[in-house]
Amino acid sequence: MPSDRLDTIYNAIIDGDADTATVEAQAALKEGIPASEILYNACVPAMEEVGSLFERGEKFVAEMLIASRAMNAVVEILKPHLVDGDVNIIGTVVIGTVAGDLHDIGKNLVGMMLEGAGFKIIDLGANVDPAKFVDAVRQNQPDIVGMSALLTTTMPAIRTTIQTLKEAGLREQVKILIGGAPVTQEFADTVGADAFAPDAGSAARIAKSLVGVA
Ligand code: B1M
C-alpha cells in the first residue's frame, strides 16, 4: 500500500465503513493521489480480501454487501476523476450483469471506463434476463453488448443470452464482450462471444478495437 491514506480506505471498505472510506478518498484526491491509484491499489484489493474472508467463513453475505456499498460510495467520488466528460461518442454499449447474478461493482467499473473511452452506455443493471438484453438491442441498436458474470453458476446465462440474441435475429448486428472474475478467453470462445476482457481497463481498449477505433 503506497500510503497510509490508501491503507485506511482499504480497511474501511473491508469493514463496510462508507463514511471513513469516502472522507479518506476525498482527502486522498486532494493530496493528489490519482483516482485510478485509489481504485486499483485500495478499493479493488479490499473487495478481493472481502471475498477471501467470506471463503474462510470470517465474513458473511450481509458483510460482503455492506463492504460493497462502501466500495460503491468511494467509486461515486472517484467517477468524475476517472471519466472525462468531454469525449466524442464512438459507439453505444448495452451492458448488464446476467440473469441470476447480483454482482454489479465490476460491471459498473467497466461501464465507467467505456464511458471514459467515448461510448454511450445503456446500463441494464444486474440480474438481467436474456429477453431484456434483446429488447435493449432492438431499441438502442448498440455496437456492443457487454455481459458480466461473477458466479460460476451464472456463467451459463451468458451462453443463453447469446442464444436468445441469435433466435431474435440480432446476434450479427452486435459485437459481444464478456467478463467477470470466473470468465476466461476459453469460455468466451466456447460460447461464441467476440471478445473477453479480464478487467475494466482492457475492456475499454478491447471495446474500442471492436468498433474499429485504435
Ligand atoms: Co458474492 N461471490 N456472492 N457477493 N462476492 C463472489 C463473486 C465470490 C468469488 C466470493 C468468494 O467465495 N470468494 C463467490 C463466487 C464463487 C463462484 O461462483 N466461483 C461469491 C458468492 C458465492 C456469492 C453468493 C452465492 C453468496 C451466498 O449467498 N451464499 C451470493 C450470490 C448472489 C447472486 O448474485 N445471486 C453473493 C452475493 C454477494 C453480494 C450481493 C453480497 C455482494 C455483491 C454486491 C454488488 O455487487 N452490488 C458480493 C460481493 C461484494 C462479492 C465479492 C466479495 C466482490 C465482488 C466485487 O465487487 N469485486 C466477490 C469476491 C471476489 O471477487 N474476489 C464475491 C470487485 C470488482 C471490481 O471486481 O467484479 O471481478 P470484478 O470485476 C472486474 C473484472 O472481473 C472485470 O472487470 C472488473 C474491474 O476490473 N469484469 C469485466 C467484470 N465484469 C466485466 C464485464 C466485461 C469485461 C470485464 O465486459 C462486459
How many percent of the chain have pLDDT more than 70?
97
Residues of the chain with pLDDT under 50: 1
Q: Which residues line ligand 1 (CB under 6 A)?
A: 44, 47-48, 50-51, 54-55, 61, 64-65, 68, 95, 100-107, 109-110, 146-148, 150-153, 177-182, 197, 199-200, 203
Give every CB contact of residue 123 below 8 A, 6+ residues apart in sequence: 95, 96, 107, 108, 111
Domain 2-82 -> CATH class = mainly alpha
What is the pLDDT, as a whole number, of residue 86?
Answer: 67
What is the pLDDT, as a whole number, of residue 202?
Answer: 94
What is the pLDDT, as a whole number, of residue 85?
Answer: 63
Number of H helices and number of E strands within the chain?
Answer: 10, 5
| Distance between Cα 213 and ligand 1 center (Å) | 30
What is the pLDDT, as a whole number, of residue 91?
Answer: 97
What is the pLDDT, as a whole number, of residue 124?
Answer: 98
Residue range(s) occupied by CATH 3.40.50.280 in the chain: 91-210
Residue range(s) occupied by CATH 1.10.1240.10 in the chain: 2-82
Domain 91-210 -> CATH class = alpha beta
C-alpha cell at 149: 458474470
Region of residue 213 (left: phi > 0; alpha: psi -120 to 50; beta: else): beta
For residue 128, what is the DSSP state? B
What is the pLDDT, as a whole number, of residue 153?
Answer: 98
In whole angstroms, what is the distance from residue 121 CA to residue 119 CA? 6
